[in-house]
Chains A and B, each alone.
Chain A
Amino acid sequence: MAENVIQISGLTKKYGEFTAVDHLDLSVEKGEIFGLLGPNGAGKSTTILMILGLTEPDEGTVRVSGIDSISKPVEVKKIVGYLPEDVGFYDRYSGLENLAFTGRLNGMTETEAIKKAKLLLKRVGLEENSEKKTGNYSRGMRQRLGLADVLIKDPEVIILDEPILGLDPYGVKEFLEMIAGLSREEGITVLFSSHHLYQVQQVCDRVGLFVRGKLLADGDINTLSRKLFGSSPYLVEVGIPVQVAGDPDKLKNMTRVLLDVEGVLTVEEKDNKLYVECSHEVTADISRAIVRSGFELIYLNKREYGLDDIYYRYFEGGADHE
């Protein structure tokens, strides 16, 4: 059992009648990258604010490295680096000066802060722009400077709120690699929120799905899909050959053939394709069965459930609950 760096229990925040965060329980282990996923307005930012002690919850507790965020926010902020959504800097100062200011706020002397800021600027690839005023920085540069700003206090945990919003695809990749590298090399725990599913999938050890203030499920992607899709985590698409397409009898035959394969659970026709749900990997068996029974095999595609499917599945489910 690894040590839990962030421990949230029973956290609730209400704005009037509206419940932004509803009895949330969540724990993040040391050194892992946790992605908080959810649509806009799901309560991700509110949760982050409460972890930092910037907003008081109505109920529940938050502990970061064992320190209570509500009663000792300053202690928590010493070990947590936070990159807000759409971070801003003092435009009239250079990147270096902005970083050094943050460093000094964290108890460094000016000399130390400047030295450290230079190192970090190099690390995030802004070395050449360090003397440039941040007012002239591009969005991607600002975000990288934001990361350096978070790192200058040597945090144990970094929390990023929508860090990749508004970055170009290359920028996103670069930024996420930087985060993943940090977590691996220095053992920093990372929590970030996003609604960009693919990108999150690439770097996160674990994700939590967040809808209407509730954590619907959490775990790594495989666990999540197993949880969500129950005993049928595999999906195979089978193209319907022309000879079968117009003929309901033949289609029924083909469906029966597929159902006879061991491990196939359901077969469904949609958009001129058959969707076959299976309990384990049986793609090869399916192709063999099709060919053996005399049908033409024109198209076979093994699909793995990604975050997208998980996400959509949840929204379908979420709609049912209403």
Chain B
Amino acid sequence: MIFITGILREERIMNNAVNKVQGSAGMKKIGWRRVFAGTRVLKPNKERINSPFRVILEKEIADQVRSWRFIVLIAIIALTTLGSLYTALNNISTAIKPDDPTGSFIFLKLFTITDGTLPSFIVFVSFLGPLLGIGLGFDAVNSEQNGGTLSRLLAQPIHRDYIINAKFLAALTVISVMFFSLVFLVMGIGIIATGIPPTPEEFVRIVFFTLLTIVYVAFWLNMSIWFSVRFRQPATSALMGISIWIFFTVFYPLIINLVIKAINNPAYHGNPDYQVFLEKLRLGLMRFAPNVLFSEATSTLMMPSVRSLGPLTMEQMLGAIPGPLPLGQSILLIWPEVTALTAATVLCFVLAYVPFMRREIRSR
């Protein structure tokens, strides 16, 4: 019964929309925007008084989605996703060995395997996520300031933090919707192509992976919003964001390796404790890089066979039965990484928020 009324209502709404579209089409030329505006009638939104925050949020989301840069970014990410999915599907038959302890996680392999020509999905995401975050946030505040719209906006009866909150939340919404659709798309194609449905555990792992990705992108987003508050020129803030991204992905590991090499004393080479210490130091330093945290966390989530993120001695390995970790244990293993990433995200937001609230906004 509920279904029937639901369908009836839907039909009525659709008819309204169709009439509206036809009505407006009759009036003037049909631009896509006009058609779009017509379908907006679907929402009762038009007749409702929304809180100013919601009004700003809606506008920000619309701005993001309609912007060229978003279209370009989503195209890059969708193409790489399809590319990695294609290689994964091609190699999935060779990737599964009969005696593989993680054999039951075939579906996760769609996201992780590669034949060496193209990186896997999770590597792509860890590489392109920052670009997405920086791209959506680098001109959040300074473009409003330079366009002279910020002081006009602030003269409206709204609290100042509405603006920065809405900017962040709009980009976050866009990112979340995008990643969930992408991941579910990959899953759908995977089901069709392989004929194997994901197990509940795999599904939960994939959802966690997606959430983690969103937090990771949110970190870069907040950082670039911070730069957009700090720097007056959008170009400067974009460059700052990109250089930090490149620093962490390319130069930071090089520097850490140099440091480790420099302090490596050949006199102690025979001592295994020293080797463990060096390795722990290297890892500890590496973990200041958000991309390292992210790739550790995602590989643990998506490859259940990963059981430790630090060095393991032969003694520790001895007697261990090779097998996948249960979901709870995998999450426990990456808990520090997740906490650190979340903390960095919040920190960047605070760094953006406080100066924005205190600053005196003059026109242009």
Interface residues in chain A, defined as those with a beta carbon under 8 Å from any beta carbon in chain B: 45, 49, 52, 54-55, 74-75, 77-78, 80-92, 101-102, 104-111, 146, 149, 153, 161
Contact = CB atoms under 8 A, between A and B. Distances in A.
Nearest to A56: B360
A83 B149 CA distance: 11
Contacts of B63: 90, 92
A87 B48 contact: no
Contacts of B360: 49, 54-55
A86 B364 contact: yes
B155 A109 contact: no
A77 B47 contact: no
B148 A105 contact: no
- Nearest 5 CB-CB pairings of A with B: A88-B148, A82-B155, A84-B363, A84-B151, A88-B147
B117 interface: no
A172 to B, nearest CB: 19
A49 B360 CA distance: 9
Contacts of B93: none
A123 B332 CA distance: 65
Interface in B34-50: 45-50
B52 interface: yes
B49 A108 contact: yes
A23 to B, nearest CB: 20
B158 interface: yes
B129 to A, nearest CB: 27
Given A84-B363, A88-B149, A101-B59, A54 B157 contact: no
A107 B361 CA distance: 23
Given A84-B148, A109-B49, A111-B47, A78 B362 contact: no
B156 interface: yes
Contact of A105 (B45, B48, B158): B158
A109 B45 CA distance: 8
Interface string B43-68: 00111111010011001000100100
A207 to B, nearest CB: 22
Contacts of A161: 363
Nearest to B48: A109
B147 A110 contact: no
Given A54-B155, A109-B49, 10 more contacts: A45-B362, A81-B155, A86-B364, A87-B151, A88-B148, A91-B147, A92-B66, A101-B55, A105-B153, A109-B48
B363 A86 contact: yes
Contact of B56 (A84, A88, A105, A108): A105
Contacts of B148: 84, 86-89
Most buried by A among B148, B155, B157, B159: B155
B246 interface: no
Contacts of B49: 107-109
Contact of B52 (A54, A90, A105): A105
A104 B50 contact: yes
B154 interface: yes
B67 to A, nearest CB: 9
A101 B158 CA distance: 13
Contact of B156 (A75, A85, A92, A106): A106
A149 B148 CA distance: 14
Contact of B155 (A77, A89, A91, A110): A77
Contacts of B149: 88-90
Nearest to B46: A110
A85 B361 CA distance: 12
Contacts of A109: 46-49
Contacts of A86: 148, 363-364
Contacts of A101: 55, 59
B155 A52 contact: yes
B46 A111 contact: yes
B152 interface: yes
A149 B149 CA distance: 12
Interface string B146-171: 01110111111111000000000000
Nearest to B147: A88
B31 to A, nearest CB: 10
A92 B50 CA distance: 23
20 contacts: A54-B360, A74-B158, A75-B157, A77-B156, A77-B157, A77-B158, A82-B151, A87-B148, A88-B152, A88-B364, A90-B63, A90-B147, A91-B147, A101-B55, A104-B55, A105-B153, A105-B156, A106-B52, A109-B46, A110-B46
A58 B136 CA distance: 37
Contacts of A105: 52, 55-56, 153, 156-158
Interface in B124-160: 147-149, 151-159
Interface in B279-314: none
A125 B263 CA distance: 75
Interface string B325-364: 0000000000000000000000000000000000011111
A145 B139 CA distance: 25
A109 to B, nearest CB: 5
Contacts of B48: 109
Nearest to B56: A105
A54 B50 contact: no
A40 to B, nearest CB: 13
Contacts of B56: 105
A104 B56 CA distance: 9
Contacts of B46: 109-111
A83 B56 CA distance: 20
A104 B57 CA distance: 12
Contacts of A74: 157-159
B152 A149 contact: yes
A302 to B, nearest CB: 42
Most buried by B among A55, A75, A87: A87
